[in-house]
Structure 1
Amino acid sequence: MPAFEYEALDATGKKSRGLITADSEVAARRELRGRAMAPLSIRYADQRAERRAKSMGERSSGFSLAPSNLSNRELMLITRQMASLIGAGMPIAETLGLIAHQGSKHHAKRILTAVRARVTEGEKLSTAMDGFPNSFPPVYRAMVAAGENSGGLDAVLERLADYLEKDEAVRSRVTGAMIYPAILSIVALGVVALLMTFIVPRIAEQFVGMGMDLPGLTRAMIAISAFLQVGWPFLLAGILVLVVISVLALRQEPVRRSLDGFLARIPGLGGFLEHAESARFCRTMSILIDSGSVLPDALRAARRAAGNLAFRDELGKVIRDVESGRGLSDAMRNRGWFPPLSLFMIAAGERSGALGEMFRRSADQLDQDVDRTISVGLNLLEPGIILVLGVVVVTIVLSILLPILQLNTMALG
């Protein structure tokens, strides 16, 4: 039975929002009227049910500016709660209902209630999550399905929660560390703009009025200043157009694949991307294999989790090699993306039968390497910004001082 999100007026005329399960939108409206409520809008909480209804000619009403998908942090918290409650022996349907009504935000409550309705009808949890692909990524659903098939859903959810928690911690640390450099950059750019649009033009007027033969650096600064004063709207419009074109282009898979391949070939950055993607791959593989997934299925799920399309293509070649009978470590070694230590550990896991454990150890090692690289990069970012902007400011000041020094020389001569 599908779930519906509604807005309605109660007997006192107060607007209320909530969720209700019914066979159809008409039945949902009838149920609300039976509760002495006047429905204002009703929409499917379940995206897949809504698509089915629209294909049959039925339309849902209502519009909302509220978020409709789970954020990374919300998914992490929900996964942790599900792992604890299911591990304690609570049925899945009751677990989803309890989490939905224990302080979840409205959109999270809507999603969880819709998933619970499907589970109550007899669907598996992973199948019920298919209606919300933007909230539960494909690899997430694959891991949940593996846990259901192996009978260790609580353990899989616990590992998933650990993985999401670590990923959220890295995101928060990077975001927090970027705040000060961002503020510093904005203030410095404001100072440069002030110098170029107000200070340099005033001083340039004095020099030009004297009929001096200005140094080349000063003439260049005056030309740039004149352009910024007149052409800043065109410059701003050009930047906005470039941003829009870039965003639209990156939505095209061939463009993004080419960019990902180019970034992977940049010295320094390419090595970091390879370690980051390899760490995600190894972590995903460790969870899937420990959950009972067969190797080809685990590789396909891990491939869907890859963020870099060039790396995803390489994993596709690994899958073809494995399915043709080649060993996993040999197939990975031929691709050139994976660090030697990871290849050695995976080969050892194949020989010992502890492939999931070796993937986990490899992921831990790669995560440490990635964390160190991020820490070093963030520590170097602030002085790098100061150095670059300092050079810009010194260049502007020097362009002002050179004519003054020239005047002093002429006066002394």
Structure 2
Amino acid sequence: MAESRVKLGTNDKIALIGNLSTMLTAGIPILEAVDSLASDVKGNQKKILEALKEDLTQGKRVHTTMARFPRAFDKVTVNVIKAAEEAGNLDVALKDLRKNIIKEAEFASKVKSAMVYPAFIGMVFLLVLGVILFFVIPKISSVFSRLTVELPVATKVLIFLSDLMVKRGILVVIGFVIIAAAFYLFFTFKRRVVFEILFSLPLISQVVYKIDLTRLSRSLYLLLSSGIPITHALELTQDVAIKRETGRMIARSREMVLGGKSFSSGLRTSKKVPNLMIKLVEAGEKTGTLDKSLAEVSEHFDYEVTNDLKTLTTLIEPIMLVLIGVTVGGLMLAIIGPIYGLIGSIGNR
């Protein structure tokens, strides 16, 4: 596997960086630590550690090896390690990186957890729909076919779909596979467009923006506390932004800092950045503790995003249940309606 394609899962990354930090803190030379760790692991961790061992033997630095594995280590991680090696505090930087990765993982877990229930409800709905189309409609259809009764349009559509799925099941499956493949290809090549549309939805947009600010402030804290200049730190953190709007705000702030203005002045150019963040950044700039101020900002938005996700989930649950209830009710009405009509016509006779 080419180095550019080697990935590390979150747990593997935490283990690799954490174990290396622990051994360096204990005073074990880095080459010995890497050699020891490489003998205890398998898979991509082993590939990376063996590459690191080879580079260290040749007199190269840790960040040089990490830069060879862009899908395992992002630009922020590589530059934090580079700055730490120059400052001589690699063990401390590795410990901070481990904490940051754990926080990012916990953060991502909160976002995923908020999506679990709606996804589960959606799957149940599709299952119920499948049962109705495969088992209920064919039996009802056979009854209607023997009777001279005019069926509503909704019932005719249901019977058509049911017949299509039962009698032409293979074609339907092939059609679904083709559609799924088309969506996958579109998502792969136009992922940014899909995310921009999804993240512009009213209920989601504000939460995603806060997620961006959380990740931005956390990454900036890590970079600044490692001694990386604010201009370079802002350049590196453009990649952590989910929304293009956030990326543009970061780029604009960097241009203003290069022009001699403060980072807080750059934040003020965006109407969406909360005043709390601007004030904390401004205070940090005045006292020379910008990194600590950004750490406080990330903690604040982390808490806000957690609450917003809970609220969003609370709102989505009843909306989905109502939509599913109305849809299933409509399906049952399309089935039962003609039966009641038939009973009524018999009664009138």
- Say if 2:84 is the partner of 1:147: yes
**Equivalent runs, 1:323-402 vs 2, <5 Å:** 323-378=258-313, 384-402=319-337
The more displaced of 135-144 and 400-409 is 400-409
Q: Deviations for 1:369-389, whole angstroms, at most 9, x for unmatched residues? A: 122223344455555554443
Which of the numbers 123, 132, 149 marks the counterpart of 2:60? 123
The corresponding residue for 1:167 is: 104
Asked whether the equivalents of residues 46 and 111 of structure 1 are also in contact (C-alpha less than 8 Å), the reply is no
Quick one: distance in 1 between partners of 2:68 and 2:164? Answer: 54
The residue number in structure 1 matching 2:32 is 94
Q: Does 1:73 align with 2:11?
A: yes
Q: 1:251 to 1:209 in 2, by over 3 A?
A: closer
Q: Aligned partners of 2:218, 2:321: CA distance in 1, in Å? A: 37
Corresponding residue of 1:54? none
Q: Give, in whole Å, the separation in 2 of the partners of 1:88 and 1:218.
A: 74
Say whether residues 1:213 and 2:150 are aligned partners.
Answer: yes
CA change 1:382–1:275 in 2 (3 A) is: same
In 2, distance between residues paired with 1:397 and 1:81? 59
Q: Which residue identity is paired with 1:331?
A: G
Q: Which residue of 1 aligns with 2:204?
A: 269
Report the counterpart of residue 133 of structure 2 in structure 1.
Answer: 196
Structure 1 residue 232: deviation in Å? 4.7
After superposition, give the CA deviation of every residue in 1:209-238 in whole Å (9 maximum; x if it has no partner): 221122343233223323433555444434
Shift of 1:340: 2.8
> Cα deviations across residues 248-285 of structure 1 (Å, max 9, x unaligned)?
33444xx4444444344321211111111111010000
2:270 partner SS = coil
Aligned to 1:291: 226
Partner of 1:282: 217
Contact 1:149 1:292 in 2 (8 A): no
**2:181 equivalent in structure 1:** 244
Secondary structure class of the residue paired with 2:73: coil
Q: Give CA-to-partner distance per residue, 1:325-381, whole Å, 9 cap, x none.
A: 222111122134533321221122112211101110000011111222233444555
Q: Give 1:83's aligned residue.
A: 21
Q: Which has the higher strand share?
A: 1
On the 8 A contact 1:260/1:309 being kept in 2, the answer is: no
Q: Does 1:156 align with 2:93?
A: yes
Contact 1:80 1:157 survives alignment (8 Å): yes
Q: Which moved more, 1:387-396 or 1:178-187?
A: 178-187
In the superposition, the TM-score normalised over structure 1's length comes to 0.75
- Cα pair 2:249 2:266 within 8 Å, conserved: no
Alignment partners' CA distance in 2, 1:172 and 1:292? 30
8 A Cα contact 2:217 2:295, kept in partner: yes
Q: Distance in 1 between matches of 2:185 and 2:51?
A: 33
In structure 2, the CA distance between the partners of 1:183 and 1:363, relative to structure 1 (3 Å rule), is closer
CA 1:258–1:187: 2 relative to 1, 3 Å: closer
Among 48, 56, 71, the alignment partner of 1:134 is 71
Farther off after superposition, 240-249 or 363-372: 240-249
Q: Report the equivalent of 2:48.
A: 111
- The alpha-carbon distance between structure 1 residues 143 and 117, as it changes in their structure 2 partners (threshold 3 A), is same
Aligned to 2:239: 304
Q: How many residue pairs are counted as aligned between the two chains?
A: 348
User: How far apart are 1:130 and its partner, in Å?
Assistant: 1.9
Structure 2 counterpart of 1:204, which letter? Answer: S
Distance (Å, rounded) in 2 between the aligned partners of 1:232 and 1:323? 63
Structure with more helix by fraction: 2
Q: Which runs of 5+ in 1 are unaligned?
A: 1-44, 49-66
Are the aligned partners of 1:276 and 1:366 in contact in 2 as well (CA < 8 Å)? Answer: yes
Say which SS state the counterpart of residue 280 (structure 1) adopts. Answer: helix
Match of 2:291, as an amino acid?
Answer: G
Cα distance between partner residues in 2 of 1:407 and 1:351: 81
Give the distance between the partners of 1:264 and 1:388, measured in 2 at CA. 22
- AA in 1 matched with 2:18: R
Taking only the aligned residue pairs, the percentage that are identical comes to 24
Bigger relative CO (Cα 8 Å, ≥ 6 apart)? 2
Q: CA deviation at 1:107?
A: 2.8
Deviation at 1:153? 2.2
SS at match of 2:261: coil
Alpha-carbon contact 1:97-1:116 (below 8 Å) kept = yes
